A and B are shown apart, each in its own frame.
Chain A
Amino acid sequence: MNEAFAYAERGAPGQIPDVPGGWDHLFGEMLIDITIIGILFTVITVYLLIRYRRREQGQEGNPPRLTTAAAIGWAIIPAFIFMADDFYLAAEGWTLFNEYRRVPENAYEVKVEGSMWSWHFIYPEGVESFGELRVPAGTPVVVRMTSKDVVHSFFIPDFRVKQDMMPGRMTYLWFYPKAPGEHLITCAEYCGLMHSGMKGMIKVVSQDEFNNWIETEKKNNNT
């Protein structure tokens, strides 16, 4: 079913889309959109509130008489304006959503298991880590996740991604760490006592450093 939505994909295949950039761009666009609507409504409301205040005791309104055509027009025309804006935003949102959901082909795959209240990462090389996810810079990373106990949510604010994890189902998200650095992971679905303390760190290191780390960890495991 998900494949049916793939045709709205943007950019050439193989190219890694800039999801956080796309998010910031779309959010900015939307902020402009709702600010314009908001200011428009506010100006009209304030004008009406001042212009039509009561001037003398016992004054009544002088409402316009709407013809049938005007009454229908006042329903249909605004409805279509709202609908046009809705569909415009929906189209943009759909495009970005596809980027969120289409994992780039060469992505590095890590499994994560949530449990109250920590994250357990399992790398394809058989290495494991708790709380800290180490990934190489310059490679998209896909996180396949599930939970041992209750619903948690894997939220990386810097990469503008979030996905719930729960027992009995496998979910995923992907992100693209371009440069070495540290990024916060924090739980976004209420999971009890230490919900707000359920945090972790993504450590993005250079490819060489990452390879070394994997090798060392493997040796540590074997001994």
Chain B
Amino acid sequence: MYATEEALRHKPGFGQTLREWIFTIDHKRIGILYLIGSLAAFAVAGLMALLIRIELGSLGPTLTSNPGTYNVWLYFHGAAMILAFQIPALTGFLANYLVPLMIGARDMAFPRLNALSLWLYWAGIILALLTFVIPDPPDVMWTGYPPYSLKTGGNTAFYVFTVHLMGFSSIVGGINLLTTIFYMRAPGLKLNKLNIFVWSTMGAFVLQLVFIPVLAAAVTTLLFDKYLGTHFYDPANGGDVLLYQNLFWFYSHPAVYVILLPTIGMIFDIVATFAKNRVFNYNMVVYGGIGGVVLMSGEVWIHHLFTSGMPDWIRIGMMISTLLISIPVGLLMIGLLGTLYRGAIQYTTPMLYAVGFIFLFLIGGLTGIPNAMTAIDLYIHDTHFVVAHFHYVMAVATTFAIFGSVYYLFPKMTGRMYSETLGKIGFFILFAGVNITFFTMFIVGFKGMPRRYYDYQQFPQLEGLHHIITIGAYIIGIAALLILISWIHGLIAGKKAPDNPWGSKSLEWTTSTPPPPGNFRELPILTEEWHPYGYGRSK
């Protein structure tokens, strides 16, 4: 506990010097530094998305006449959005900031390890950003399939080392978070009184610890093949191309749930707070929903390989297991809707984002069913239909949850309120933008347009639809700017926030705003009656 004592020796209030931030071992500051990093990654990767869309907005070369440049944009957009924005924003920023507060702990179990995980992540971001500086940037997409990643003149090593750094960061963070949740809960905080977000973070980190080593093996052998002359993926020397795809998706499908679980956990917390209602059927949500997703996540990866040439029997098996994922996910949806039932819903900006999430996730989840069906997938695999599906279910839905969470925690983190008007305008424009973009993308994909195309001379009839998608992308860009402005406005001109502006019963709102080093003046002692969602008990 030395580190915690050191944290307590800091003077109360937020220090202003850079040194204090860089050497911080306070979980709240580490969380905020994670947030800054992930928003920076989001900004650059989002800009790449806009460039991609402008390029595809009309037939023929638009922005660049070099498809290689376009491929680097695609690579950076995918890799940075997943590895540097979504996973760190959820399991870095939110988990770090919220979990110790939610469980009534003074800090994480290993604060110095926490700082290590943060700076590994920042090293990963810098390595990823070097893509735009080095003469031979990686162009292997975020999947890095061999033999292309071995034959390309692009620098596959940058891709591999970025994955390594992010992976190390996640493993270190995972061990830390799990230890914290198991050993540092406030007295009286039983496991069945944890916030759904804490449960979902636990699930996400179990998946990270189990599956990241597999990804590390996949990309490391890629590195060996390319630079040291081994033959893991070289069929001419007894290697196998499909081995990589199996290893890669054996991690990367569970990674989808690493993203989904904290997302939906956060949505549960936001919905319960603003509906002032208990989470509906808590045990079903935790054990059926989160537990079910964790258990099933490792048995479905072949659906990414439906057209790759895997044996028929495993394609049928994993079609069924993929379809069955709808059971835990459906239970989570029922839990969310049940939490609205007989609530008293207050429509603040974070709640609007949560509602937006429900609709986006519904569309994304349901369009996953055609993708899960092997026979249907033989046509829509690797088309824009799949791109639209995973943007709805993972990319956009999760981004809504992250933005909603930033608004939700804004008063706690900064001590100031954001402007509801600005926040709501940003939300509605963003919601319109993503639907224009990604719903149109379903149609383009259904008409046969493959993904990762620089141009589409063979589909000239789709130019009009592509034009609409690009307009949607501009709208998303405007919304993102407005959201950023609303945060900066809140930071500078926001009213002073009370300790508990949302009237939440959860522990993170019981401490002062912003929370002091060590989180609580006195550690909370929880009574038998206390529950993070203990609303409406008096009646």
Chain A positions near chain B (C-beta within 8 angstroms):
1-2, 4-5, 22-23, 26-27, 30-31, 33-34, 37-38, 41-42, 44-45, 48-49, 52-55, 58-64, 66, 71, 74-75, 78-79, 82-83, 85-87, 89-90, 93-94, 96-97, 99-101, 149-151, 153, 155, 157, 160-164, 166-169, 171, 184, 186-197, 199
Contacts and interface: CB of A to CB of B under 8 A. Distances in A.
B498 interface: no
A86 B326 contact: yes
Nearest to A157: B448
A89 B345 contact: no
20 contacts: A1-B311, A27-B370, A30-B370, A30-B376, A52-B343, A53-B345, A53-B347, A63-B536, A90-B323, A90-B373, A97-B374, A150-B147, A151-B308, A163-B378, A166-B235, A166-B242, A169-B235, A190-B451, A194-B67, A196-B454
Contacts of A96: 375-376
A63 B358 contact: no
Interface stretch (B361-369, B409-417, B507-515, B519-527): B361-369
Nearest to B240: A168
Given A78-B331, A166-B309, A52 B344 contact: yes
Contacts of B283: 71, 75
A100 B315 CA distance: 13
A105 B338 CA distance: 55
B346 interface: yes
A78 B334 contact: yes
Contacts of A100: 375, 378
B270 to A, nearest CB: 14
B333 to A, nearest CB: 7
Interface stretch (B32-40, B176-184, B379-387): B379-387
Interface in B141-199: 141, 145-148, 151-152
B378 A164 contact: no
B334 A74 contact: yes
B323 A86 contact: yes
Contacts of A38: 362-363, 366
Q: Please indicate which of the listed interface residues A55, A85, A149, A190 has the most CB atoms of chain B within 10 Å of its own CB.
A: A190
Contacts of B346: 53-54
Contact of A82 (B139, B278, B327): B327
Given A1-B312, A169-B240, 9 more contacts: A61-B535, A61-B536, A62-B536, A64-B342, A75-B288, A86-B324, A89-B323, A89-B373, A100-B378
A192 B148 CA distance: 7
A45 B379 CA distance: 33
Given A26-B375, A89-B369, A100-B378, A197 B457 contact: yes
A45 B340 contact: yes
Contacts of B536: 60-63
A49 B330 contact: no
A63 B280 contact: yes
Contact of A196 (B141, B319, B347, B455): B455
A74 B347 contact: no
A94 B281 contact: no
B331 A93 contact: no
A61 B453 contact: no
A168 B383 contact: no
Interface size class of B (residues with CB under 8 A): 35 or more
A79 B288 contact: yes
A183 B340 CA distance: 51
Contact of B379 (A161, A167, A189): A161
B11 interface: no
A184 B319 CA distance: 28
B355 interface: yes
Contacts of B235: 166-169
Interface in B300-359: 307-309, 311-313, 315-316, 319-320, 323-324, 326-327, 330-331, 333-334, 337-338, 340-347, 355, 358-359
Contacts of B315: 97
A157 B461 CA distance: 14
A30 B381 CA distance: 16
Q: Please indicate which of the listed interface residues B240, B358, B375 has the most CB atoms of chain A within 10 Å of its own CB.
A: B375
B307 A164 contact: yes
A9 to B, nearest CB: 13
A79 B450 contact: no
B21 interface: no
A23 B338 CA distance: 37
Contacts of A155: 382, 448, 450
B345 A49 contact: yes
A44 B333 CA distance: 11
Given A27-B376, A63-B278, A151 B148 contact: yes
Contacts of B535: 60-61, 63
Given A86-B326, A150-B147, A151-B148, A162 B312 contact: no
A24 B56 CA distance: 28
Given A53-B345, A162-B379, A168-B236, A153 B307 contact: yes
B443 interface: no
B284 interface: yes
Contacts of A85: 326
B462 to A, nearest CB: 11
A195 B70 CA distance: 12
B277 interface: yes
B85 to A, nearest CB: 21
A189 B241 contact: no
A60 B344 contact: yes
Given A26-B373, A63-B280, A58 B503 contact: yes
B458 interface: yes
Contacts of A42: 359, 362
B71 interface: yes
Q: Please indicate which of the listed interface residues B68, B311, B326, B450 has the most CB atoms of chain A within 10 Å of its own CB.
A: B450
B296 to A, nearest CB: 12
